[in-house]
């Protein structure tokens, strides 16, 4: 049985693929990783499955809010999402660039904000062991991402770009290893940024951290599009 969250994602994917909307590229990847993480929650792989499920749903909220703000012309979309979605609309990126632009915006920006949302109320009262448990559950998602890479290659990259699939075959497992290491490094940095926002002294300090994060993610997105 599908989860309501992944059902909503699939509906958007189907509509976007019919319309040849390049936003479907990232969302296919995101849906696969969400579905596999939810399966891991159901299988009891996490110490606190309720917390992980809450993290996943809050994380998705940021994505859908950014989409809605962009589609309706509101000012709610961050500059990093504006840049990412502009690239998809203008069709000026290849499949891998679309994937990494989306991953950059959603992991490096949205995930840090999500961590603040799900941690800031409970963080002061958590013991060191409980904080470590949160971090371990967070890191377990890295393993699930690694387990999903081949699925993304088969279901997204090979369908969208046979030439890139050939490059993947020639590269063997090395390219998957590099991607996993990069995403693991990004997510480690995001955990630190999220905790830094949780531990900021006041709202002004958090706002400054958020602005700095948004600008660094925008610069990273610009580098992705130039490669």
Name the residue range of residue 188's domain: 4-226
Question: Contact at 8 Å (CB) between 56 and 37?
Answer: yes
pLDDT tens digits, 98-131: 889 999 999 999 999 999 999 999 999 999 999 9
**Cα gap 103→97, rounded to integer Å:** 10
pLDDT tens digits, 31-85: 999 999 999 999 999 999 999 999 999 999 999 999 999 999 877 679 999 999 9
**Cα gap 201→196, rounded to integer Å:** 10
3-state secondary structure at position 13: helix
**Cα gap 10→106, rounded to integer Å:** 18
Mean pLDDT estimate for the chain: 89
Domain count within the chain: 1
Question: Contact at 8 Å (CB) between 152 and 28?
Answer: yes
Q: Which residues contact 220 (CB under 8 A, 6 or more apart)?
A: 104, 108
Which pLDDT score, from 0 to 100, does residue 178 have? 77
Residue 139 belongs to what H/E stretch? helix 128-152
Q: Which two tokens mark 170?
A: 């020639």
pLDDT tens digits, 152-199: 877 776 666 544 443 453 344 446 777 888 999 999 999 999 999 999
Task: Provide the whole-model pTM.
Answer: 0.91
Which pLDDT score, from 0 to 100, does residue 161 have? 55
């Amino acid at each position: 049985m599908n989860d309501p969250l992944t059902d909503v994602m699939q509906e958007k994917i189907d509509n976007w693929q019919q319309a040849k909307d390049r936003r479907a590229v990232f969302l296919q990847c995101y849906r696969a990783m969400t579905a596999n993480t939810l399966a891991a929650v159901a299988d009891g792989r996490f110490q606190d499955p309720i917390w992980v499920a809450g993290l996943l749903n809050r994380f998705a909220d940021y994505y859908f809010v950014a989409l809605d703000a962009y589609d309706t012309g509101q000012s709610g979309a961050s500059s990093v999402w504006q840049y990412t979605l502009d690239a998809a609309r203008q069709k000026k990126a290849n499949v891998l660039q679309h994937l990494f632009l989306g991953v950059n915006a959603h992991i490096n920006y949205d995930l840090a904000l999500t961590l603040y949302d799900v941690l800031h109320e409970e963080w002061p009262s958590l013991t060191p062991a409980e904080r470590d448990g949160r971090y371990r559950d967070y890191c377990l998602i890295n393993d699930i991402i690694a387990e999903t890479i081949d699925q993304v290659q088969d279901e997204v990259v090979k369908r969208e770009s046979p030439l890139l699939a050939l490059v993947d075959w020639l590269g063997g497992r090395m390219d998957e290893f590099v991607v996993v290491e990069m995403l693991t490094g990004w997510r480690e940095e995001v955990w630190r940024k999220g905790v830094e926002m949780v531990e900021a002294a006041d709202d002004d300090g958090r706002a400054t951290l958020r602005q700095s994060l948004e600008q660094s993610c925008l610069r990273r997105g610009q580098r992705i599009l130039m490669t």
